[in-house]
C-alpha cells in the first residue's frame, strides 16, 4: 500500500466528473487499499477517488471512532433522500483546516457496488449520510465550499492559494 497525493481546492481537477467503474480487478483493489490508507493517515472519514486524481466513481468511508469500519461505495447512487434537512459542520481533506455548515437531507438510501462488484443498499443518517453525500459530490466534480456564500468561498480559495504558495516556498528553501 502507498499514500496518495490529495488534490487541494481550488485545483481544477477536483471539478472533473468521475466515470463509472466497469472493471473489478487487482488494480481496483489496490486503489481501494491505497485510498483507505491515505484517508486514515490524513486523518479523515471519507475520500473520493476524484480527490486523488482518479476520476472513477469510488468512495471509501469510515465514520467509526476506532477506524475499523471501512466501507467501499462503487458507482453509488442515491435512491431516496428525506425531505427533512440537517446542517452539519463539514470539513474536507481537499480543503484542510476549513469547516462550515452545509445543509443536506438528514436521511438517505444509497445503492452501490462493493469491491467485488456485488450490489448492496444502505440506509444512512447522521454522519454517515453526510459523508456519503459529501463524497458523492466529489464524484460529480463538486467541493463542499460550493454550498457556501460567494464571499466565504472566495476567502477560502484565497487562503488555500496562499498556503500552497507558502508550501512551495518552504520546499524550495528546504532543497537549498
103 is catalytic: no
Higher pLDDT, 166 or 61: 61
Q: Which CATH class is domain 12-144?
A: alpha beta
138 annotated as belonging to a binding site for a ligand = yes
Annotated binding residue 92:
yes
How many percent of the chain have pLDDT more than 70?
98
Would you place residue 6 in the very low, low, confident or very high pLDDT band (cuts 50, 70, 90)?
A: very high
Q: Between 100 and 171, where is the model more confident?
A: 100
CA 48/CA 7 separation, integer angstroms: 11
Q: Which three cell numbers stand for residue 57?
A: 466513481
Q: Which of 90, 103, 135, 164 is catalytic?
A: 135
Cα Rg for the chain, rounded, in angstroms? Answer: 16
15 marked among binding-site residues: no
**Residue 76's pLDDT is what?**
98
Question: Mean pLDDT in the chain?
Answer: 95
Side-chain half-sphere exposure of 62, counting CA atoms within 13 A: 19
List, in sequence order, every beta strand (DSSP E) within the chain: 46-48, 58-61, 71-81, 85-92, 95-105, 107-113, 119-125
Q: Would the pLDDT of 173 be above 90? A: no
Per domain, the residue ranges of the chain are: 12-144
What tens digit of pLDDT does each residue of 128-162 get? 999 999 999 999 999 999 999 999 999 999 999 99
Q: What are the pLDDT digits (tens) for 54-95? A: 999 999 999 999 989 999 999 999 999 999 999 999 999 999
Q: What span, in angstroms and rounded, lies between the C-alpha atoms of 135 and 37?
A: 17
Q: Cβ atoms within 10 A of the Cβ of 101, count? A: 11
Separation of CA 63 from chain center = 13
Amino acid at each position: 500500500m502507498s499514500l496518495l497525493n490529495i488534490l487541494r481546492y481550488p485545483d481544477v481537477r477536483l471539478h472533473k466528473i468521475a466515470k463509472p467503474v466497469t472493471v473489478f480487478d487487482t488494480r481496483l483493489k489496490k486503489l481501494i487499499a491505497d485510498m483507505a490508507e491515505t484517508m486514515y493517515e490524513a486523518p479523515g472519514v471519507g475520500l473520493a477517488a476524484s480527490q486523488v486524481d482518479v476520476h472513477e466513481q469510488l468512495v471509501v468511508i469510515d465514520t467509526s471512532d476506532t477506524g475499523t469500519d471501512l466501507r467501499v461505495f462503487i458507482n453509488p447512487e442515491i435512491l431516496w433522500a428525506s425531505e427533512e434537512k440537517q446542517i452539519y459542520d463539514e470539513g474536507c481533506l481537499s480543503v484542510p483546516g476549513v469547516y462550515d455548515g452545509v445543509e443536506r437531507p438528514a436521511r438517505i438510501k444509497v445503492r452501490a457496488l462493493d469491491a467485488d462488484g456485488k450490489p448492496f443498499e444502505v440506509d444512512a443518517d447522521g454522519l454517515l449520510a453526510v459523508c456519503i453525500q459529501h463524497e458523492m459530490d466529489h464524484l460529480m466534480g463538486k467541493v463542499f465550499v460550493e454550498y457556501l456564500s460567494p464571499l466565504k468561498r472566495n476567502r477560502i480559495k484565497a487562503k488555500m492559494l496562499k498556503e500552497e504558495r507558502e508550501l512551495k516556498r518552504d520546499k524550495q528553501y528546504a532543497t537549498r
